[in-house]
């Protein structure tokens, strides 16, 4: 049985029925004469649906597609993905001197006229995606990424021959050539494969840079870095997606 309604203005429980609006019961407060439609709190979504949403999004479906399949809204899917990422998915921690590959890929932000460049860094020894930065294809964006990479005690940075790298990296610790960024190009291909929003020639665009970052974190966690999957919703991914 539902609890008795009360007036949202004066919080009085002296309310009576007062017709319907779009199929919903209207109420009238006898104390302040305020008319309102009772809004019941939404039912709590079960953990299996949440885990299925994260799994489906992490395996290549768009937010809207996941919402349609699970009979929910894209906003709910965003909320569940954000909760999962902020609870379990983190960038790797430094583990001594490394050789890294750095390259950039593009995506759309808001509209196809606005390109968002994503600079990524890969640890060659482990094949893990260790860091990334979103912004423009300029030196300022790369410098933000480079500042965080210094804690990794980088021995050598392998990049292509884009001019920004020559300006920011010192000689002796920088190798320029596509032949030494093959692993990172393969990782970019996997990002585009698993994320609908990263596929080229697509109508999918992102509305916020924060969601782009969360998406990369999730795909790195599930498919690239292959970290141990925690029981966040107490169900294995395969069972939730079935």
Residues 113 and 217 both lie in one domain: yes
- What pLDDT is stored for residue 42 in this prediction? 63
Per-residue pLDDT of the chain (242 residues; tens, 9 = 90+): 456 788 888 888 899 999 988 888 899 999 999 999 876 666 788 888 999 999 999 998 989 899 999 999 888 999 999 999 999 898 898 988 899 999 999 999 988 889 999 999 999 999 999 999 999 999 999 999 999 999 999 999 999 999 999 999 998 999 999 999 999 999 999 999 998 778 776 777 888 899 899 999 999 998 998 775 544 444 444 444 44
Find the CATH number of the domain harbouring 110.
3.30.420.10
Residues 84 and 198 both lie in one domain: no
> Containing domain of residue 33, as a range?
1-39
- What pLDDT is stored for residue 54 in this prediction? 93
Provide the pairing of β-strand 111-123 with 129-135. Answer: antiparallel
- What pLDDT is stored for residue 157 in this prediction? 97
Residue identified by tokens 């299925």 is: 52
Query: Does residue 93 form part of some domain?
Result: no
Q: Angle at which helices 182-194 and 209-219 pack, to 10 degrees?
A: 110
Query: Does residue 131 form part of some domain?
Result: yes
Residues 112 and 208 both lie in one domain: yes
Residues 159 and 57 both lie in one domain: no
Residues 21 and 115 both lie in one domain: no
pTM over 0.85: no
- What pLDDT is stored for residue 83 in this prediction? 92
- CB half-sphere exposure, 160, CA atoms < 13 A: 11
Query: Does residue 234 form part of some domain?
Result: no
Residues 111 and 212 both lie in one domain: yes
Residues 50 and 11: their CA atoms lie apart, in Å, by 34
Residues 195 and 135 both lie in one domain: yes
Q: 110: how many CB neighbours lie within 10 A of its CB?
A: 12
CA distances for 191 relative to 3, 16, 197, 200, 206, angstroms? 48, 57, 10, 11, 15
Number of structural domains in the chain: 3
Query: Does residue 236 form part of some domain?
Result: no
Residues 112 and 162 both lie in one domain: yes
Query: Does residue 142 form part of some domain?
Result: yes
């Amino acid at each position: 049985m539902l609890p008795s309604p009360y007036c949202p203005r004066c919080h009085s429980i002296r309310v009576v029925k007062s017709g319907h609006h779009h199929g919903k019961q209207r109420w009238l407060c006898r104390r302040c004469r305020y008319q309102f439609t009772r809004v019941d709190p939404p039912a709590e979504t079960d953990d299996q649906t949440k885990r299925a949403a994260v799994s489906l999004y992490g395996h290549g479906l768009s937010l809207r597609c996941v919402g349609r399949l699970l009979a929910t809204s894209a906003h709910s899917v965003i909320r569940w993905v954000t909760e999962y990422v902020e609870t379990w998915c983190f960038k790797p921690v430094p583990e001594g001197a490394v050789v890294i590959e750095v390259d950039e890929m593009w995506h759309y932000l808001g509209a196809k006229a606005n390109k968002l460049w994503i600079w990524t860094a890969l640890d060659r020894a482990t094949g893990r995606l260790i860091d990334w930065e979103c912004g423009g294809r300029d030196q300022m964006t790369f410098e933000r990424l480079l500042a965080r990479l210094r804690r990794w005690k980088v021995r050598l940075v392998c990049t292509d021959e884009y001019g920004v790298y020559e300006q920011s990296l010192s000689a002796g610790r920088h190798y320029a050539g596509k032949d030494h960024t093959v692993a990172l190009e393969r990782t970019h291909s996997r990002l585009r494969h698993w994320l609908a929003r990263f596929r080229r020639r697509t109508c999918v665009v992102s509305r916020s840079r924060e969601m782009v970052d969360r998406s990369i974190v999730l795909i790195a966690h599930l498919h690239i870095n292959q970290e141990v999957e925690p029981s966040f919703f107490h169900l294995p991914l395969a069972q939730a997606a079935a």
